[in-house]
Amino acid sequence: MIKDSYDVIVAGGGPGGSSVAKHLAKLGHSVLMLEKRQEIGAPKRCGEGLSVNTAGIIGKIPPWCIAQKINAAKVYSPDRSYVLMDFGGDSKGYVVERKALDKWLAFEASRAGARVMAKSEVTGVLKDGNSVTGVRATILGGGEVEIRSKVLVAADGVESTVARKAGLNTANKLVNLDSGFQYEMSSLNMEDDKKIILYFGNEIAPRGYIWIFPKGHDVANVGIGTAMAEKPPKHYLDAFIEDNPDIFGSASIIEVNSGGIPVGGFLDNMVLDGFAVVGDAAHQVNPIHGGGLKEATIAGEIAAKVISKCIKNGDVSKRALSEYNRIWWSQRGKKLRMVEKLRHVTEKLTDDDLNMLVKELTGDILSELTRGNKFSALAKVLMKKPKLIVLARHLL
Amino acid sequence: MVWKIDRGVCLRCGACVSVCPVLALELQESGVAHDAGKCTLCTACEKICPVGSIRVEK
Name the average pLDDT for chain A: 95
- Structural domain includes residue A330: no
Closest CA to A52 of A79, A88, A27: A88
pLDDT grade, residue A150 (50/70/90)? very high
Task: State the average pLDDT over residues B8-35.
Answer: 93
Q: Range of A371's domain?
A: 340-394
Q: Which residues of A touch B23 (CB under 8 A)?
A: 161, 164, 171
Residues near A303 by beta carbon (within 8 Å), at least 6 away in sequence: A20, A153, A276, A278, A324, A328
Task: State the average pLDDT over residues A95-116.
Answer: 98
Query: Using one digit for the tens of pLDDT, what is the confidence trace for A201-213?
Result: 999 999 999 999 9
- Residue B16: Cβ within 10 Å count: 27
The count of C-alpha atoms lying within 13 angstroms of the C-alpha of A67, restricted to the half-sphere facing its C-beta, is 24
Q: Which residues of A touch B16 (CB under 8 A)?
A: 260
| 8 Å CB contact of B20 and A235 | no
B2-57 — its CATH code? 3.30.70.20
Rounded (10°) angle between helices A351-360 and A375-382: 120
Name the average pLDDT for chain B: 94
- Structural domain includes residue A255: yes
pLDDT grade, residue A395 (50/70/90)? confident
Quick check: bond before A214 cis, omega within 30?
A: no
Q: Which residues of A touch B11 (CB under 8 A)?
A: 43, 256-258
Is there a single domain that holds both residue A252 and residue A273? Answer: no
Q: Is B43 on the interface with A (CB under 8 A)?
A: no
- Structural domain includes residue A315: yes
Per-residue confidence (pLDDT) for residue A372, from 0 to 100: 87
User: Which of A45, A172, A262 faces B13 most closely, judged by CB atoms?
Assistant: A45
pLDDT grade, residue A350 (50/70/90)? very high
Q: Which residues of B touch A233 (CB under 8 A)?
A: 50
Rounded (10°) angle between helices A15-26 and A98-111: 20
* pLDDT > 80? residue B29: no
Lowest-confidence range among A151-160, A183-192, B11-20, B26-35? B26-35
Is there a single domain that holds both residue A162 and residue A146? Answer: yes
Task: State the average pLDDT over residues A153-172.
Answer: 95
Q: Is B20 on the interface with A (CB under 8 A)?
A: yes
Q: Which residues of A touch B56 (CB under 8 A)?
A: none
Is there a single domain that holds both residue A370 and residue A231? Answer: no
* pLDDT > 90? residue B58: no
Per-residue confidence (pLDDT) for residue A371, from 0 to 100: 87
% of residues, chain A, pLDDT over 70? 100
Residue of B9, B11, B12, B13 to mutate, interface with A, max A Cβ within 10 Å: B13
Q: Which residues of A touch B39 (CB under 8 A)?
A: none
User: Which of B18, B21, B44 faces A160 most closely, judged by CB atoms?
Assistant: B18
User: Which of B19, B29, B52 faces A174 most closely, judged by CB atoms?
Assistant: B19
Is there a single domain that holds both residue A126 and residue A197? Answer: no
The CATH code of the domain that includes A33 is 3.50.50.60
Residues near A143 by beta carbon (within 8 Å), at least 6 away in sequence: none
Closest CA to A99 of A37, A190, A188, A185: A37
Q: Which residues of A touch B50 (CB under 8 A)?
A: 179-181, 232-234, 258-260
Q: Is B56 on the interface with A (CB under 8 A)?
A: no
Is there a single domain that holds both residue A232 and residue A134? Answer: no
Is there a single domain that holds both residue A258 and residue A235? Answer: yes
Q: Beta strands A5-11 and A144-154: pairing type?
A: parallel
Q: Is B9 on the interface with A (CB under 8 A)?
A: no
- Structural domain includes residue A113: yes
Q: Which one of A243, A262, A281 terminates a domain?
A: A262
* pLDDT > 90? residue A7: yes
Tell me which amino acid residue A338 is: M
Cβ contacts from A onto B, under 8 A: 83
Handedness of CA B15, B16, B17, B22 (dihedral sign): positive
Reported ipTM: 0.95
Per-residue confidence (pLDDT) for residue A261, from 0 to 100: 94
Q: Is B13 on the interface with A (CB under 8 A)?
A: yes
Q: Which one of A246, A262, A278 terminates a domain?
A: A262
List residues of chain A with CB under 8 Å from any CB of chain B.
36-37, 43, 45, 121, 157-161, 164, 171-174, 177, 179-181, 228, 231-235, 256-260, 262
- Provide the number of structural domains found in chain A: 3
Rounded CA-CA distance A331/A305 in Å is 14
User: Which of B13, B20, B26 faces A259 most closely, judged by CB atoms?
Assistant: B13
| 8 Å CB contact of A258 and B13 | yes
| 8 Å CB contact of A172 and B19 | yes
Is there a single domain that holds both residue A296 and residue A271? Answer: yes
